[in-house]
Amino acid sequence: MGEALMAGFLRGGLYQPQAVCVSHPQPARRQYWAETYGVRVTPENRDAADSSVLLLAVKPQQFSSVRDALGELPGKDTLLVSVLAGVTLATLEAAFPGRPVIRAMPNTPARVGEACTALAFGHRVGSDQRAWGERLFATVGQVAVVAETQMDAVTALAGSGPAYVAVVVEALIDGGVAAGLPRPLATQLALQTVLGSVKLMQTETLHPAQLKDQVTSPAGTTMAGLAHLEQAGVRGALIQTVLAAYQRSQSLGQATQPR
């Protein structure tokens, strides 16, 4: 996620590579970052902390060790931006006293400028910092400002969502192959069908049910396919998938709360 965001930020021109310092413990990854993006690299989190904006993009389980490594941040105006699933603003503000904190939940389509990012602001974030946070993430896609109570749901739907979509697309491709299509053709058709359907719903502000009804003729092939989807419980399975991810995001947040 960190790489997807940084690639988008650099592409959007808000930062030049020499203004960015990336901390990573693995030498191979540091070399990759330096050669691919031209940014400065360091093995020490502390070396990356002296900046106007500090982006935390690690696993929630690594939060405590990263916090200990950072220590006391040098600049009182450093804006802390966290993309850690489940880690609350209260936890972040307790770990970095006096700092303005933005909690963000983007997704990996940031790499191609098509992310959807939800932002929740800590109470120390000023109006200029709010505007900057929105501008920053607008370079990688759409931005929605939400109440923090909605962030676990955002994580479950949008943050994890690309994986669900990938599974659905993979299944459609396999279905095409099962019906006799060469895999490259099935892949092309599945990807473009999903892309085109989404663009159609966005452009014409169609409810998904409207698009479904437009494609479905009486006793036709689409109705036969839809009937099988309902029989297989696909709709309910997807709902339960989002709820399972939601519950996991909540548990990750509880595990990182100060005791």
pLDDT in tens, 179-213: 999 999 999 999 999 999 999 999 999 999 999 99
The residue with tokens 């200990």 is 68
Mean pLDDT of 143-171: 95
Asked if the model's pLDDT at residue 76 lies above 70, the reply is no
Asked if the model's pLDDT at residue 33 lies above 90, the reply is yes
Residue 256 is predicted with a pLDDT of: 61
Q: Dihedrals φ, ψ of 29, to 5°? A: -70, -35
- For the chain, the straight-line distance linking the first and the last C-alpha, in angstroms and rounded, comes to 28
CB count within 10 Å of CB 146 equals: 15
Residue 244 is predicted with a pLDDT of: 97
Q: Which of 24-33, 72-81, 238-247 has the least mean pLDDT?
A: 72-81
Asked if the model's pLDDT at residue 255 lies above 70, the reply is no
Q: For the whole model, what pTM was predicted? A: 0.85
- Report residue 259's pLDDT band, with 50, 70 and 90 as the boundaries: low
Which domains does the chain show, CATH number per domain?
2-147 (3.40.50.720), 161-249 (1.10.3730.10)
- Determine the distance from the C-alpha atom of residue 243 to the mean position of all C-alpha atoms in its chain, rounded to a whole number: 17
Residue 225 is predicted with a pLDDT of: 96
Residue 196 is predicted with a pLDDT of: 97
Q: Position 169: which residue type?
A: V
* Mean of pLDDT over the chain: 91
Residues 6+ apart with CB under 8 A from 213: none
| Residue 84: closest CA among 256, 247, 243, 245 | 256
What are the tokens at 220?
């036709």
What are the tokens at 85?
């699933």
